[in-house]
Amino acid sequence: MLPAPLMKKRKFNVAVAGVTGAVGQEMLRVLEARRFPVDQLIPLASKRSAGKRIGFKGNRYTVRELTKDSFAEVDIALFSAGGGISKEYAPAAAAAGAVVVDNSSAFRMDKTVPLVVPEINGADVKKHRGIIANPNCSTIITLMALNPLHQAFGVKRIFASTYQAVSGSGAQGIIELEQQVKALARGRQVKTEVYPHQIAFNALPHVDAFLDNGYTKEEMKLENEGRKIMHHARFKASSTCVRIPVYRAHSISVNAEFTKPVTVAAARRVLKKAPGLDLVDDVKKNLYPLALDMAEQDNCAVGRIRKDCAMKNGLSFWVVGDQILKGAALNAVQIAELVAKG
């Protein structure tokens, strides 16, 4: 259960750790856009970024260095500074009385830490012991379409291919793509630093580190996190994650097998009612979700819905979402809103 003082508050002291990064900046924009009841904002970052000025709700704030003593009188702490930083500082924040919403992978598979997508398992927030984990971006976007179908038809397994934007690698991924495109346009050689191969005009089937089973860490997250979020221990997912030269928004192709018979019409009815999800599915008019259209959009979108011709009770679909928003900052703020409601 939430600490009693939090449940009685109407305004909250909110810390944002990693505030100068892309997701941290997006968290500030989402907090402001959704009118989250912030009393005091505590902007935190590394020693290198301390002293910088950031804007929030028309005011300017000086970024403070993140330390274990940064969380006195903090009610909610949003973390987006990497797994190592979260492991080091999130427990200190929780010990100081803050509720941590962590965007890294540090606590996602910890059995004592809820892993939450508010539209799917928001009630799990109440089980927290001071830390709540934000799922992987591709997992969130996929489940926004898959879970409503699971609730109606019972998903057994999926085969998925992700097409992930370079912003998923942080600001340096965007910079590398921009620099490579400019270099190629001028007939110059490209430099590769963020990715092992040229990303411009290419597709890299390599997101995160490879494991002994041949999958990458990113590819295993969909199965492992999906089981926890959907409370579905037997859920199976075989994924291939691909980095593509798109700035923002991830796209996922999903082939799903269900325990119950499913029709396209029935699936559309279910998906049309799903919160946080837009149905964009009229191939006769060339209407289907596009990364360009979904960039900077709160909702995810699903389309290309059709019977899977290779599986019994199978369905194929295409789902797209902004991985910085619903895949990270927006989902974290939605979790904070549940914490604030108690």
Encode the chain (342 residues) as per-residue pLDDT tens digits. 334 345 456 899 999 999 999 999 999 999 999 999 999 999 999 999 999 999 999 999 999 999 999 999 999 999 999 999 999 999 999 999 999 999 999 999 999 999 999 999 999 999 999 999 999 999 999 999 999 999 999 999 999 999 999 999 988 999 999 999 999 999 999 999 999 999 999 999 999 999 999 999 999 999 999 999 999 999 999 999 999 999 999 999 999 999 999 999 999 999 999 999 999 999 999 999 999 999 999 999 999 999 999 999 999 999 999 999 999 999 999 999 999 998
Cα angle: 261, vertex 262, 265; to 5 degrees: 145
Query: What is the second-level CATH architecture of the domain 4-135+328-341?
Result: 3-Layer(aba) Sandwich (3.40)
Which ranges in the chain are annotated with CATH 3.40.50.720? 4-135+328-341
DSSP 5-24: HHHH-SSEEEEEETTTSHHH
The stretches of the chain forming alpha helices (DSSP H) are 4-8, 22-33, 83-95, 118-121, 137-153, 171-185, 217-230, 264-273, 291-294, 330-341
Q: Which residues carry out catalysis?
A: 137, 250
The CATH number of domain 139-323, selected from 3.20.20.70, 3.40.50.620, 3.30.360.10, 3.40.50.720: 3.30.360.10
Distances (CA, A) of 206 to 26, 137, 197, 202, 218: 26, 16, 10, 12, 9
Residues 6+ apart with CB under 8 A from 105: 83, 136, 217, 221
Decide: 115 and 91 in contact? Cβ < 8 Å: no
Farthest-apart Cα atoms in the chain, separation: 63
Which ranges in the chain are annotated with CATH 3.30.360.10? 139-323
